[in-house]
Structure 1
Amino acid sequence: MKKIVVALSVLTLLTSCVSKKKYQDLEARNKETQDLLNSATVKLNSCLEEKAGLTARVEGLRDHNETLMTTSKNLTMLTSKGAENLEKSLESLKEKDLRITRLQDAMTRKDSVTLALVSSLKSSVGISDPDIEINVEKGVVFISIADKLLFKSGSYDVTDKAKGVLAKVAKVVNDKPDFECMVEGHTDSVPYVGSGVLLDNWDLSVKRSTSIIRVLTNQLGVKPEQLIAAGRSSYIPLVSNDTAENRARNRRTRIVILPKIDQFYDMIEKEMKKQQGK
């Protein structure tokens, strides 16, 4: 037992002496290793952060590249559509210019034909009285006759002198059997004063219209189905009713010849051919 105790004591002493040295060496090596590990860890983390940054940048560049490719495709499509739309716009402008040119030509022809048509009507019926006006507006022929040629003041009885004028109007109407003719009575603004069936200027204007229609149909051979009676009273004056002369101008009967559109253009075409043949 004593031998064992002595042996253990010697072993412990030897071990204590050797371990201290080794421990110090191991401690130094451990510290060095730990420093290397710490340095490596720092570098690793730095590399990992740099890798993450590069990865994000690569992803960003990839997304940007895809965006650029999409934008490029869209721009190509827009450019193509823009060129197509521009071409369509140019074609539309050309068509509009052509239509405007045609309309201008048509208006020029219409103005010349209108003058020719009025002249033709005047010459065909021999009307040259300044109290009788003939004009054409928008395909409608208007023959306006001053009331002093047709009626006595305040009366709706047609005078004998008027029948000669109405005979010329009847010739115009009878030459166009497919046209309708509206006979419009117009008065001045002086209120009608009288007795009998007439109450006011409305009655007087309509009664004058029907009186002329009876002469045209009963005595001058115009078909009744061609005629329309109308009274406008004093509400469509040519001029202001402020003087006796102006009131006389406003008292009138207007014969409105209403052709169908195709008939009117046929009449224009014939007149144009007549003018070209001169």
Structure 2
Amino acid sequence: MFRKTSPLVFILASIFLCFSCVPTRQFQELQSKQQNCQDELEMEKEKNLKLSESNNELSGKLDVLNEKYQNMLADTVQLSRRLQSARERLSRMEKSNQDLLNQLAGVQAGNEKETKALLSQIKKAQNELRLREDEVLSLEKEMDTRKRALDTLQAELNQRDQRLQELESALSRKDEAVRALKQKVMSALTGFDGNGLSITTKNGKVYVSMDEKLLFKSGSYQVDQRGVEALGNLAGVLAQNKDINVMIEGHTDNVPYNGTGELKDNWDLSVKRATSIVRILVLNTGIDAERLTVAGRSKYVPIGTNASPEGRSRNRRTEIILTPKLDELFKILESN
């Protein structure tokens, strides 16, 4: 006969099954967030590449327009000289024609033969005079056409130059904003230098890199009190600079994670550490959570060799990447 199973056994089994599902769901959610972060990072890289290519293309177009303008200007100068020469020849022809008319008036009382010869010369001179007048008229029309084309090209050149100046000015303001942001971050984190903190700029962004020893105990994703203090100071800067997007990236070395519980590997550890930092930053009500992005990079973006303890220590870090918004720059590019 079968022995009757105790209801307590069924209750304990149900509880065990429920709790065993939680880490799996959390891991799937973290994987989804990781993919979203990676996609957004790629989009930012693509935007920066588009900005660089558009700037180069605009500079190239400006060079072509400058060359075209100089060539047309040279042609216009040459045409102006031709027109001046034609006008001088026309003036000489008119004087010569007047001289012949004067001669005709003087010999009207002479013989018929001389009169016919003089009339023939006058007719020839008048025909040549008409040809010169037609030439001058044609050159004046061509000159007028060239002038209108030159004015149009000059206007386009001025417009392109203005757009390029606007773009260069916007880039300069962005670079100045990055420098100012770096200085503010450095001032806010004074006292943490040399304790696992470094602040650098690269590709128009400010990188705040914090070593594991500043934020976490080994294998943990709970932020130490010293790290909470540093993150609180940084949050104050971010709250005052609302046009800054923030990416928090967790990094590990290549040593496999052998912990227990909900963390299975370095992917989990890097994501959980980045998430822990975000939760501290958003305690500052001046920071809009929509500006924040979390990413776990595991062991795949090292900055040092994993063959030495020193290199592995450098790789176990969290990077907070601050990016000024590029809305102004993209508006200028779209207007082109």
How many residues are aligned here?
191
Q: Deviations over 1:198-223 (max 9, x none)?
A: 111000000111111112223x3353
Q: 1:120 to 1:222 in 2, by over 3 A?
A: closer
| Residue aligning to 1:182 | 247
Offset, 1:113: 7.8
Residues 178 and 259 of structure 1 are in contact (CA less than 8 Å); yes or no, is this contact kept in structure 2?
yes
In the alignment, is residue 194 of structure 1 matched against residue 259 of structure 2? Answer: yes
Describe the shift of the 1:260–1:116 C-alpha distance in structure 2 as closer, same or farther (beyond 3 A).
closer
The whole-number CA distance in structure 2 between the counterparts of 1:222 and 1:244 is: 39
SS of the residue 1:221 aligns to: coil
**2:313 matched residue in structure 1:** 248
Aligned-pair CA distance for 1:112:
8.3
Q: C-alpha displacement at 1:254, in angstroms?
A: 0.8
What RMSD over aligned residues (CA atoms) do the two structures have, in Å? Answer: 4.1
What is aligned with 2:294?
A: 229
The aligned amino acid for 1:221 is: T
Distance 1:264 1:181, change over 3 A: farther
Q: Which runs of 5+ in 2 are unaligned?
A: 1-166, 331-336
> Judging changes above 3 Å, is the alpha-carbon distance between structure 1 residues 262 and 158 closer, same or farther for their aligned structure 2 residues?
same
Q: Which amino acid aligns with 1:214?
A: R
* CA distance, structure 2, for counterparts of residue 127 and residue 110 of structure 1: 28
Instruction: State the match for 2:219 in structure 1.
Output: 154
Normalising to structure 1: TM-score of the pair? 0.52
Residue 123 (structure 1) aligns with: 187
| Aligned equivalent of 1:211 | 276
| C-alpha contact 1:125 1:168 (8 A) present in aligned 2 | yes
Tell me by how many angstroms 1:237 deviates.
Answer: 0.5
Q: How far apart in 2 are the matches of 1:236 and 1:258? A: 19
Which residue matches 1:258?
Answer: 323
Deviation at 1:246, TM superposition (A): 1.3
Alpha-carbon distance in 1 for matches of 2:210, 2:329: 23
Separation of aligned partners in 2, 1:149 and 1:187: 14
Change (3 A) 1:212 1:120: closer
1:174–1:242: structure 2 CA closer, same or farther, 3 Å change rule? Answer: same
What are the within-5 Å matches in structure 2 for residues 63-78 of structure 1?
Answer: none
Give the CA deviation at 1:253: 0.7
For 2:308, the aligned partner's letter is T
Residue 210 (structure 2) pairs with residue 145 (structure 1) = yes
| 1:115–1:178 CA distance, 2 compared to 1 (3 A) | closer
Which position in structure 2 is the counterpart of 1:52? none
Letter in 2 for 1:240: T
Structure 1 residues 116 and 224: alpha-carbon distance in aligned structure 2, compared to 1, 3 A threshold = closer
Percentage identity across paired residues of the two chains = 44
2:232–2:280 Cα contact (<8 Å) kept: no
Contact 2:257–2:265 (Cα < 8 Å) also in 1: yes
Question: Closer, same or farther in 2 for the Cα pair 1:193/1:122, shift >3 Å?
Answer: same
Relative to structure 1, the CA distance from residue 129 to residue 197 in structure 2 (aligned partners, 3 Å threshold; closer, same or farther) is: same
Amino acid across the alignment from 2:256: P
Which protein has the larger Cα radius of gyration, Structure 1 or Structure 2? 1
Structure 1 residues 10-54: Cα deviation after superposition (integer angstroms, max 9, x where no partner): xxxxxxxxxxxxxxxxxxxxxxxxxxxxxxxxxxxxxxxxxxxxx
